[in-house]
Structure 1
């Protein structure tokens, strides 16, 4: 994010992802915040998520978090529709999509992990307690063994899946992998509503470009059709009528 002339061809994949988030928020009238958090010295940078969300949440009813390589695939569909479709009730503190069915995506109890690249987080006392427990997990004051996930994949995601979610199960909503994870060209998880390009990160820019152009050109084409009688000029004879 910098000042100066904007050149789309020079835009990197992660900047394209952030632009997708900002565009989606602006289209639907939502606040957008880019949290420029300090890095940890003792763990992976991805561990900033629990604290970043917790510090924003008291100012909002919901905070939607996306990794830079996760994007809204259906830009015209608002969050309110998705909340209704996924049944995000007052009893849901955090909603995350399941990961694809692969050996590396299971926790120590052989349960499929949820992916922290896209999260719907609702403000309530339980949520705040959960986020603190998650943030403090590597300190092992509550979860012995959690320090294992300071650096190894999948960092905070593995810690949440192996420890935290087992204390807050009824408050966590698992979303279908096909609807809120993966990408259109990835087998079982095609990212119908929210794509997460952990498989081929370069596709972030490609698909945002296609979706944005589709949305813009769809509006232009629709307007042309609506104005068809005004736009289309019938020429019955190929004769120059006036000198």
Structure 2
């Protein structure tokens, strides 16, 4: 049985073409990418040890080994952070045999007041599971008619994978699907991420599972929306981490003049209608 850490290392090894690292092409092989021998040599570890990591038989590689693998795979900074996180949960911090439970939906009063100060802008308090815990009136006006806020406990991840309207709303739906799947690895806790994954997998199908197992670190570029009003919106995203709460404030800002003008019309009725979702 593999582990998230082993799956990630193997997925990255399979995605790298030897020529990009100046290595010879060994001809046709059963699997793409680097051979285990190539990666082990670059990392300065044995092939047998790399095999144990990839197959989940070694769950506690040292920091030095993790750094060596990151260097050998030429990981970007965000991918290095993800590698360290997977090593942490693989090493035993995920209580796999405990019954998973949803995380707290409580938003601290100071965070709600911060959100209030952002009115009439477009902002929401979320966690990495995609739960929308509170939002400004501007966010509510922007999402009116999209279906995202229809449930009593709205969740972006569930919406992206199970609501057909999401594919019409998000111009770059594939990129957004990769983002929300990746963020489950960094949920408020490993247990809460396991809870949502177990709930979503049957409804979302193999596409969701495939994206989860790819460990693809997303780029998070401009958010493009095909809004139900007929406007094509381009929004920059600023994320303010609330590390102690496992939450973040996400602020959406117009990325061009056309979007700014469209938002002026869409958000006109939204002043002063902050909503906390409990």
Q: TM-score per shorter chain, which class?
A: under 0.3
TM-score, reference length from structure 2: 0.24
TM-score, normalising length: structure 1 = 0.27
Larger Cα Rg: Structure 1 or Structure 2? 1
